[in-house]
Amino acid sequence: MKEGLRTLPHNRPGTVHIVGAGPGDPELITLKALRCIQGADVIMYDRLVNEQLLQHAKKGAQLHYCGKAPGLHSVPQEQIQKQMAEYALSGLDVVRLKGGDPFIFGRGGEEAGEMAAKGIPYEIIPGVTAAAGAASSSGIPLTHRGCSTSVALVSGTCCSENSTGVRWDLLAQSVDTLVIYMGVSNMPEISRALVNGGRPKSTPAAIVEQGTCPEERVITGTLGNIHQIASALHVQNPALIIVGDVVLVREQLLQLAAAAQERTG
């Protein structure tokens, strides 16, 4: 953390920018998001944010790590929101920098709600969500003519103790492509629920680990065996699960590229 800033004289709160940093590759940041980072007095960033983006912060900006790992939260969400509000009410411009897109499994709506309740001006800056980034990077289109005209983005964990959970039985046959966030630790249960809901065990499935990053790894299989393959290969978060016939397009693209390479020598 850098040295703290003095409270600025002000007649109004600072602005809070809730910013999507994209899925990992720092070059996938938007121009608007980059301008927000460059102008911020305070940047509160998450675990999945590529820290290369922090190099764009202005001199003297405060940098605060607010990362959350599965089962281990560095700073509770309520405390993060309280700190955001306190900085803004002291006249500082705040960037809340979040991996992916802040409104897709990013709790950006909760943070926006807190700012709205306190009368603090805020702006949501969208980012490339992990589904789009990891799928494109791995060569798996989420929609594809002839095999997928619908996509669902699904959380692989329950949002709260009071949640009834995802209706896998309804999703199993109603959506062509399923993209499952935060589902690695629950893969056996998710696979079983989808199969029980009528999705064939032979349905192609993939896991994209560290999508868009140099360490990216793509693992393919079927709904019936992908969790066993992932366990044998020690798949770790962050990882995204993609279920559907679109997974086969990746292999087709690889085969076409290899054939072209062979023709051209």
Among candidate residues 44, 84, 182, 187, the one labeled active-site is 182
Mean of pLDDT values over 222-240:
96
Active-site residue 182, yes or no? Answer: yes
Query: Model-level pTM greater than 0.85?
Result: yes
From 1-15, 44-58, 211-225, 246-260, the region with the lowest mean pLDDT = 1-15
Kindly give the pairing relationship between strand 177-181 and strand 151-155. parallel
Quote the CA–CA distance of 133 and 28 in Å, as a whole number. Answer: 9
What is the structure's pLDDT at 52? 97
Quote the CA–CA distance of 232 and 163 in Å, as a whole number. Answer: 31
Active-site residue 101, yes or no? Answer: no
Do residues 133 and 212 lie in contact, with contact meaning Cβ atoms separated by under 8 Å? Answer: yes
How do the domains of the chain map onto residue ranges?
16-125, 130-252
What is the structure's pLDDT at 75? 82
Burial of 226 (0-12, 13-18, 19+ CB in 10 A): buried
Active-site residue 68, yes or no? Answer: yes
Do residues 156 and 184 lie in contact, with contact meaning Cβ atoms separated by under 8 Å? Answer: yes
Share of the chain above pLDDT 70, in %: 91
What is the structure's pLDDT at 206? 98
Quote the CA–CA distance of 211 and 215 in Å, as a whole number. Answer: 8
Question: Of 19, 18, 28, whose CA–CA distance to 216 is shortest?
Answer: 28
CA atoms within 13 A on the CB side of 11: 0
Statement: residue 150 has pLDDT above 90: yes
Q: Considering the domain 130-252 in this protein, what is its CATH number?
A: 3.30.950.10
**Confidence label for 67 from pLDDT (cuts 50, 70 and 90):** confident
What is the structure's pLDDT at 262? 87
Question: Residue 200 corresponds to which tokens in the numbers above?
Answer: 């064939």
Mean of pLDDT values over 38-45:
98
**Confidence label for 187 from pLDDT (cuts 50, 70 and 90):** very high
Mean of pLDDT values over 174-202:
96
What is the structure's pLDDT at 253? 94
Strand order from edge to edge, sheet including 42-45:
62-65, 42-45, 94-98, 16-20, 122-125
Among candidate residues 68, 82, 118, 169, the one labeled active-site is 68
Among candidate residues 46, 93, 101, 176, the one labeled active-site is 46
Q: Considering the domain 16-125 in this protein, what is its CATH number?
A: 3.40.1010.10
